[in-house]
């Protein structure tokens, strides 16, 4: 059995789809379906069982599960970067992750978990995924810090010599529809263009960046999943790894790619950034993927324009979801 926590969520459901594409169906999906529409992400996937988070805690309390566990993909977390309940984030993203990692270690199961590029903060310390640099990082929000807390704990316990933590950069693509304000700007731009014919981007508040020229490492969900499953295929690998393209692109580039995919001429308006975000805003992120390449991941990532075209034309315009095929 393979366990995917957050398996109805964005990246988690992508992992399930990726496993299905390999003919793997013996999957236990763990999530909290709640009242949003992420349940729709499950409709085209194949899995053996679904368990709500609270019921899964009972499985963790059992001495042994009733079935052998081959691997745990721990993608479940509160990923809201604006969440202000720090105790909730500490419990959900840190304490539960510790319990699950130790449980998997006791079962000798492969453990691959979602860390985050949010751990890099303003980027002043670079974007190196070397474990010895963990303590130099200063996240800008509690979400990022909750992820760093677990990275640091796993290193202290010696678990980073056995498990894999993946620092996802700006992931976009199908199955993010339920995420509200946490959806990627690709889908937000698509909706803005559909409704108004234009796109609104934040102004820059730094003289070294023109409006809309703030840059991020945008990675398509299909590529992020492929990189994730690389570590399932190579169980000898361990430690922290960046999941990104290694090529930062501007918000202007992203917006223009959405216009092009929709067959429209660009119309971009620059608006004021809310004051609460100005001190916590990342002007530049770019994954250092040299470590990922060094351990054997060779597949090139498509261009931002090609990935956005696939997302817009094959998913957003058709209201489609990632499937098992």
Catalytic residues: 143, 179
In this structure, are residues 241 and 231 in contact, taking their beta carbons and an 8 Å threshold? yes
What number of other Cβ atoms are within 10 A of residue 85's Cβ?
12
Q: Which tokens is 55 given?
A: 């019921």
Whole-number Å distance between alpha carbons of 208 and 39 = 43
Q: Which tokens is 213 given?
A: 């020229």
Cα angle value 189/204/221 (rounded, 5°): 40
In this structure, are residues 191 and 266 in contact, taking their beta carbons and an 8 Å threshold? no
DSSP string, 158-224: TGGGTSEEEEE-EEESTT-GGGGGGS-HHHHHHHHHHHHS-EEEEPP-STTS-TT--EE-EEEHHHH
**HSE-CB for 180 with a 13 A CA cutoff:** 8
């Amino acid at each position: 059995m393979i366990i995917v926590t957050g398996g109805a969520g964005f990246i988690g459901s992508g992992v399930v789809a990726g496993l299905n594409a390999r003919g793997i169906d013996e999957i236990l999906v763990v999530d909290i379906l709640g009242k949003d529409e992420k349940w729709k992400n499950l409709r085209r996937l194949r899995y053996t069982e679904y368990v709500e988070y609270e019921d899964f805690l009972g499985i963790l309390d059992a001495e042994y599960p009733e079935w052998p566990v081959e691997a745990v993909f721990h993608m479940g977390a509160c990923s809201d970067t604006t969440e202000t309940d720090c105790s909730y984030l500490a419990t959900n993203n840190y304490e539960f992750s510790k319990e699950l990692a130790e449980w998997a270690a006791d079962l000798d199961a492969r453990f691959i978990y979602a860390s985050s590029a949010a751990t890099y903060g303003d980027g002043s310390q670079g974007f190196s995924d070397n474990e010895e640099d963990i303590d130099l990082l200063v996240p800008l929000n509690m979400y990022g810090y909750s992820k760093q807390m677990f990275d640091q704990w796993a290193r202290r316990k010696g678990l980073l010599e056995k498990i894999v933590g993946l620092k996802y950069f700006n992931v976009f693509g199908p199955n993010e529809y339920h995420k509200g304000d946490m959806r990627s700007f690709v889908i937000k731009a698509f909706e803005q263009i559909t409704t108004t014919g234009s796109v609104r981007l934040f102004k820059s508040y730094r003289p070294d960046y023109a409006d809309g020229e703030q840059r991020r490492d945008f990675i398509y969900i299909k590529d992020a999943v492929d990189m994730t499953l690389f570590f399932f295929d190579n169980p000898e690998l361990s430690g922290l790894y960046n999941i990104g393209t290694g090529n930062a692109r501007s918000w202007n580039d992203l917006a223009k790619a959405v216009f092009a995919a929709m067959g429209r001429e660009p119309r971009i308006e620059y608006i004021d950034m809310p004051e609460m975000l100005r001190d916590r805003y990342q002007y530049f992120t770019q994954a250092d993927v040299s470590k990922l390449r060094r351990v054997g991941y060779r597949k090139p990532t498509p261009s931002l324009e090609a990935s956005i075209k696939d997302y817009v034309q094959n998913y957003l315009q058709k209201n489609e979801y990632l499937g098992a095929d």
